[in-house]
A and B are shown apart, each in its own frame.
Chain A
Amino acid sequence: MTKHSDQMVETGTACVNESAVVKPWYSNLKYLVVGMIFGIVFVKAEIISWFRIQEMFRFESFHMYGVIGTAVVVGMISVQIIKARKAKSIEGEAIVIHDKEFSKGQIYGGLIFGLGWAITGACPGPLFAQIGAGFTVVIVTFLSAVLGTWVYGKYRDKLPH
């Protein structure tokens, strides 16, 4: 591993995607396109709906379990194929998926996020799609989430991990 792997462990998962090759800004536009498709699906399958999240946590609808379950199965098969074939990206880079390291943060943070997920009816992805779909008050939710992230970063050393 190169030097930045130390920092990776130190700071969580920020630097895992860092590429050795410097690419022009427009090479990022492909991620914008993938994000757009993702956002359209979020709205069309009503994943951005607060009601769908209530249904899920009350076990009164299968919809969200179906969405997440299918996504995990499709993702799992894809990752196994990519690993088995040692596939490279279209830019010729070897595909490397870093392991997630366990910390107690996954328990405490996970529970805290769960509380917020049920209240807002949104995880971070749907927040962006909700704003795009015209629910402008969600800009406040989003800014508050940025603040929450910042407060975590500031008091990170004092929290149990």
Chain B
Amino acid sequence: MIDWIVQPWPWYVAGIFIGLTVPALLLLGNKTFGISSSLRHICAACIPTKIPFFNYDWKKESWNLYFVVGTLIGGFVAAQFLSNPDDMVIADATRAHLQQHGVIDFAGMLPSDIFSWDALLSVRGFIFTVVGGFLVGFGTRYAGGCTSGHAIMGLSNLQWPSLVATCCFMLGGILMTWFGIPFLLSL
């Protein structure tokens, strides 16, 4: 039992759990799944401003903040108590490609030579953490949702604008991965 929990979980287990989040939130309180909205609520709550986009009663949306705090706690619980002792298994082709472009650390879920406090001070680390984060926050709000709100919730509800958004997420990601990342890794 413990063995099974400690091993990395297969895609279908994760997919079923994530898919069930949609009805769980609807049935628990008529909430539609979406995570990037939390970033907007944090802006509304923490940065006092007269910008109309942030001028609403965020407290009525506080369930969303409970959810993301839960996600953070869940990450902690999984890493502390259910963690896989072995190195990650990465597809050979991906590993070879990244190695060729100078990635050194393949042990954890994130390469520490790119994502760490030390690396943050380098141009490369700055772009991967700070610029990347900015694009995620700006892009998701501009698109009106992220992978959860559009790709999972929106597609579940057969919304064609969400299909457009999901295709654009993928296209942006593919373009960056194939043409941008080799360059960014060389910095």
Which residues in A have some Cβ–Cβ distance to B below 8 Å? Answer: 7, 10-19, 25, 27-51, 53-58, 60-64, 66-76, 78-79, 81-82, 87, 89-91, 93-103, 105-125, 127-138, 140-154, 156, 159
Contacts and interface: CB of A to CB of B under 8 A. Distances in A.
Interface string B156-170: 111111101111111
A82 B92 CA distance: 42
Interface string B34-58: 1111111111001101011110100
A153 to B, nearest CB: 4
A21 B114 CA distance: 47
B144 A100 contact: yes
Given A60-B94, A149-B39, A39 B70 contact: yes
A79 B79 contact: no
A123 B128 contact: no
Interface residues of B, number: 138
B94 A149 contact: no
B133 A116 contact: yes
A38 B177 contact: no
The residue in A57, A124, A127, A141 that gathers the most chain B C-beta atoms within 10 A of its C-beta is A124
14 contacts: A31-B70, A38-B21, A45-B10, A82-B26, A95-B30, A103-B161, A113-B138, A115-B135, A118-B177, A119-B180, A123-B140, A144-B133, A149-B40, A149-B141
Contacts of B74: 35-43, 129, 132
Interface of B: 5, 8-43, 46-47, 49, 51-54, 56, 60-64, 66-79, 82-83, 88, 90-91, 93-95, 97-98, 106, 109-111, 114-117, 119-120, 127-162, 164-178, 180-181, 184
A117 B174 CA distance: 10
Nearest to A159: B142
B73 A36 contact: yes
A137 to B, nearest CB: 5
Given A16-B32, A43-B74, A97-B26, A148 B152 contact: no
Given A13-B149, A153-B40, A131 B161 contact: no
A55 B71 contact: no
A136 B152 CA distance: 27
B173 A114 contact: yes
